[in-house]
Structure 1
Amino acid sequence: MMSNYGKAHASPPPSVNGSPPMSPVPGAGPEQMWGASTGDNTRLRARLTATAKRSKYLGRLLKFRQMDFEYAFWQMLYLFVSPQKVYRNFQYRKQTKDQWARDDPAFLVLLSFWLFVSSIGFSLSLHLGITGFIKFFLWVVFVDCIGVGILIASLFWLIMNRYMITMPRRGQDVEWGYAFDVHLNAFFPLLMILHLFQLVFYYALIDNDRFVGCLVGNTCWLIALTYYIYITFLGYSALPFLKNTRSILFAITGIILVYLLSLIFKWNFTRGLCSFYTKRVM
């Protein structure tokens, strides 16, 4: 009796006078009822969800009391010590909040603070003045961090979703916000190495035409870019539905080759960077 009852209620409602069955949802026809447009509905829900998440994230940018700065500072510290632990927490967020990307802008706010501090250090070292400092700070924030970050995140987002997903399923795709978070994670160590650590040795060792200056400055670049690629690799390898993420590490080979060539031909990347910034802001 129970099985007959289940079968009766699993079938569509009967038609009246040969007409299609009535939809229980106002404005919904048979196609919407029986799933003929399931793919369109799924994409619509995904777009609405992404829009809602983005609006929530941007809406919290100025609500400092709601931000977890202690956790964001912990992430920054462990990006140097053990970046794998940072991405384990991203996996935990997916399990608890059903999203990979950050929903708390505290990390971005702290990163902006370090951009401000590093800009002061650069401005003092290069004698840029107040106006030069403002121009330099805006350039670093909107071009070096956000502008380049949008390009890199969009590139990885396209490549991962098109070529590296194992079996496309609902909910198994790389969020653009997560791709941008991966860039921010990788950008922070690069910023600290190139914009703060280097300044300590700039005038004493780097700012000269000798081989030692080229060696010290370009070694900082090698370490910073290797960190960037490695943390980027960790970010995408943390997603269980991606394949061949180790191919990201191949870029390190190219960086090492350019590094060796720079030492042979004495291309001092740090002096070139400082000269570039000075021309842009003066």
Structure 2
Amino acid sequence: MLPTTSRGRAPSSSTSRANSSTFPQYLRRIIKWQQMDIEYTFWQMLNLCTSPKVVYQHTKYHKQTKNQWARDDPAFIVICSLLLVVAALAYCAAYDHSAGHAVFVVISILFFHFLISGAGLATFCWFLTNAYLREEAPNSHVVEQRVEWLYAFDVHCNSFFPMFVMLYVIHYFLSPLLVAHGFMPALLSNLLFMVAASYYHYLNFLGYDVLPFLERTTFFLYPIGVVIVLSPIYSVNRNEIPNLIGRNQASGLQDQHHSTVPFFHKTERQNTPIQLL
């Protein structure tokens, strides 16, 4: 259980100045494509799906060379945003014919599903780790370390990408199967959601467990148990528990006229599986 009081000293003024100067520089680099390391970003994305511990091992090297845990290269966020736009347009092409609604879907996916919700989750984890999970300094001569907000957002982005692959890409190609009525399509759809959500929280745990000044980081694994317990219950009672852990992706496109991830609406009801474009 987490303690009920925060611990640790206030951050030093030098640390605060370093964090305040890093963020504006990070934002300026977003529009400078030539300064981004695209190859390394794709390497990270691949390994987050296959060997995530390797990615966070490189985080330690980054701390040694750059003196900060967070990435100073915004390429990951930029590429992930572009992939989200492509995925949203692909769903619109398959399920919807309205250009205006396509714009709405792209904005909803990019800003609300990724950036705004990610900033909220990062802020929560940033506050939680700094207030309750930092180790007590053994003496006054030890340099105090704190979780950077930008690093917390990096952890969210790292955790989000494999979930994006499962719930946006794999789900898209399985749509002809998952839109069918019946228990099995609902079970498969919710199983996909369960795996994606569990993997998200596992990567979230890895991101904070790699920081040597944090303790009790297994707290970030607790949501996995909740997802595993509730997912089969929802598969059986998805009509009685419509919003417990996430609405059935495929049947939502036909029966509910919407789904939670991704967020799309159909313009008309269909009785046969869609043909992917």
Indicate the TM-score class for this superposition, using the shorter chain for normalisation. Answer: 0.7 to 0.9
Aligned residues: 242
Inter-partner Cα distance in structure 1 for 2:265 and 2:126: 33
Cα 1:181–1:124, aligned 2, differ >3 Å: closer, same or farther?
A: same
Q: Is residue 67 of structure 2 the alignment partner of residue 67 of structure 1? A: no
Matches within 5 A, 1:126-165: 126-165=95-134
Given the superposition, is the C-alpha separation of residues 195 and 281 from structure 1 closer, same or farther in structure 2, using an over 3 Å criterion? farther
From the CA coordinates, give the structure whose radius of gyration is larger: 1
Match of 1:86 in 2: 55
* More deviation, 228-237/205-214: 205-214
Instruction: Compare 140-149 and 120-129 and name the one that shifted more.
Output: 120-129
1:114 aligned residue: 83
Is the CA contact 1:121–1:196 (under 8 Å) kept in the aligned structure 2?
no
Q: 2 CA distance for matches of 1:170 and 1:123?
A: 52
Stretch of structure 1 that moved more, 101-110 or 165-174: 165-174
Does residue 243 in structure 1 map to residue 222 in structure 2? no
Q: Over residues 255-274 of structure 1, what are the superposed CA-to-partner deviations in whole Å (9 max), with x where a residue is unaligned?
A: 01111101221456213376
**CA separation in 1, counterparts of 2:264 and 2:200?**
25
Contact 1:128 1:278 in 2 (8 A): no
Report the more deviating stretch, 211-220 or 42-51: 42-51
User: Post-superposition shift, 1:231?
Assistant: 0.5
2:164 is the counterpart of 1:195:
no
- More deviation, 268-277/124-133: 268-277
For 2:230, the equivalent position in structure 1 comes to: 258
Cross-structure match for 1:19: none
Range with bigger deviation, 80-89 or 256-265: 256-265
Q: Paired residue for 1:275?
A: 258
TM-score, L = length of structure 1 = 0.80
Q: Is 1:231 aligned with 2:211?
A: no
Higher deviation after alignment, 47-56 or 180-189: 47-56
Q: Distance in 1 between matches of 2:74 and 2:133?
A: 28
Rounded Cα–Cα distance in structure 2 between residues aligned with 1:281 and 1:183? 33
* Richer in helix (by share): 1
Q: What is the alpha-carbon distance in structure 2 between the residues aligned to residue 102 and residue 114 of structure 1?
A: 20
| Correspondence for 2:65 | 96
- Higher relative CO (Cα under 8 Å, sequence separation at least 6) belongs to 2
Per the TM alignment, residue 209 of structure 1 is displaced from its structure 2 partner at its CA by 2.8
Aligned to 1:103, the other structure's residue is in SS state coil
Specify the SS of the correspondent of 1:275: coil
Paired position in structure 2 for 1:34: none
Q: Secondary structure at the match of 2:258?
A: helix
Structure 1: gaps spanning 5 or more residues: 1-38
Q: What displacement does 1:281 show?
A: 10
User: How well do the aligned residues superpose, as a CA RMSD in angstroms?
Assistant: 2.1
Distance 2:23 2:97 in 1: 37
Moved over 4 A (4+): 279-282
Q: Find the aligned partners of 1:161 and 1:200 in 2 and give their Cα distance.
A: 41
- Residue 216 of structure 1 deviates from its aligned partner by 1.3
Instruction: Return the letter of the residue paired with 1:275.
Output: H
Write out per-residue CA displacement over residues 219-238 of structure 1, whole angstroms, 9 at most, x where no aligned residue: 11011101100100000000
Aligned residue type for 2:21? A
Q: How far apart, CA to CA, are the structure 2 residues paired with 1:193 and 1:281?
A: 25
Distance 1:281 1:114, change over 3 A: farther
